[in-house]
């Protein structure tokens, strides 16, 4: 049986992790490679590196970082953040990334998904969707890190994206992100049940029970979190043991 995946997310700026961490045992906690390797050793199933660098040097610093990661980490990893062209993706894959995630650029030009699928295969194309539930109860797509509303329904965009060639959906609820009050069970479940591809739930994970809930009730294939891992509020080995105790299949 396939297991549910636990995915720590590392925010990167200029080749360094952005948010602080509580890992006193690391030589350099700001080094994404060191932190990623620690998570891999602890049993993380995959890693996501989200680059928020805004300088002209970004392509070069990111591809150099990806190259270092792929030389040192023995589990799959996804790279995202500002990726907008087939050439961006080619460079990252050539440097050893297993998957890339696209968000705003794919929404603005959906053919990007088709091009990526054709050149590299859907297995390496993760579509990230930032979504917010509005007063009418519906979930809508937001762009630019959740700042720009689009008026498009999340489910509609996700279904289009699957048809265009997305291989996985990384779904972040803006309502839940940063709250530590639990994942967005409702929209996660709707997507997971409707789509033929895996759904990674993101945003809101604060307790180990929240992870149980997003797998059992939300039907997520994987769950992603950042600061709760970085600040050691939840240890990955403890989380996996807890999930196992609750009858959820995880890689121990």
Partner 1 sequence: MELAIVKYNAGNIQSVLYALERIGTTATVTDDHAVLQRADKVIFPGVGEASSAMRYLREKGLDALLINLEQPVLGICLGMQLMCAWSEENDTRCLGIFNEPVKLFRPADRTIKVPQIGWNTISSLRSPLFANVPENSYCYFVHSYYAAMGEQTIGITDYVQPYSSALQTKNFYGVQFHPEKSAKVGEQILKNFIAL
Based on the shown chain and the rule CB under 8 A, indicate whether residue 74 belongs to the binding site for partner 1.
Answer: yes
- H/E element holding 125? strand 125-133
Size of the site for partner 1 (CB under 8 A): 35
Based on the shown chain and the rule CB under 8 A, indicate whether residue 5 belongs to the binding site for partner 1.
Answer: yes
Residue 252 and residue 233: Cα distance in Å, rounded?
A: 20
Active site residue 11: yes
Q: Which of 16-24, 56-64, 116-124, 237-245 is the region at the interface with partner 1 (rule: CB under 8 A)?
A: 116-124
| Least distance between partner 1 and beta carbon 169 (Å) | 11
State which of positions 164-193 bind partner 1 (CB under 8 A): 167-168, 192-193
Closest to 7 measured CA to CA, from 88, 66, 79, 96:
79
Q: Which of 88, 130, 177, 213 is catalytic?
A: 130
3-state secondary structure of 223: strand
The total of other beta-carbon atoms located within 10 Å of residue 165's CB is 22
Phi-psi region of 81 (alpha: psi -120 to 50; beta: other; left: phi over 0): left
Q: Which of 39, 120, 211, 229 binds partner 1 (CB under 8 A)?
A: 120
CA atoms within 13 A on the CB side of 77: 32
Q: Which of 10-18, 78-86, 91-99, 225-233 is the region at the interface with partner 1 (rule: CB under 8 A)?
A: 91-99
Active site residue 177: no
Catalytic annotation, residues? 11, 130
């Amino acid at each position: 049986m396939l297991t549910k995946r636990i995915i720590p997310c590392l925010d990167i700026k200029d080749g360094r992790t952005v948010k602080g961490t509580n890992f006193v045992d690391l030589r350099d906690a700001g080094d994404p490679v060191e932190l990623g390797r620690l998570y891999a050793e602890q049993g993380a199933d995959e890693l996501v590196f989200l680059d928020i660098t805004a300088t002209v040097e970004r392509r070069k610093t990111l591809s150099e970082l990806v190259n270092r990661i792929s030389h040192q980490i023995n589990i799959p990893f996804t790279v995202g953040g500002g990726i907008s062209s087939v050439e961006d993706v080619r460079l990252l894959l050539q440097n050893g990334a297993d998957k890339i995630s696209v968000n705003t650029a794919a929404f603005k030009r959906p053919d990007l998904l088709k091009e990526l699928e054709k050149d590299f295969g859907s297995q390496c194309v993760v579509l990230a969707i930032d979504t917010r539930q509005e007063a009418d109860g519906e979930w809508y797509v937001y762009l630019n890190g959740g700042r720009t509303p689009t008026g498009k329904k999340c489910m509609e965009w996700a279904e289009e994206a699957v048809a265009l060639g997305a291989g996985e959906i990384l779904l972040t609820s803006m309502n839940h992100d940063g709250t530590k009050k639990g994942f967005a069970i409702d929209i996660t479940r709707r997507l997971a049940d409707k789509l033929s591809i895996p759904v990674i739930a993101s945003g809101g994970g604060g307790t180990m029970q929240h992870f149980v809930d997003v797998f059992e009730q939300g039907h997520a294939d994987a769950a992603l979190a950042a600061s709760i891992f970085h600040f050691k509020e939840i240890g990955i080995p403890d989380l996996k043991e807890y999930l196992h105790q609750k009858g959820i299949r995880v890689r121990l």
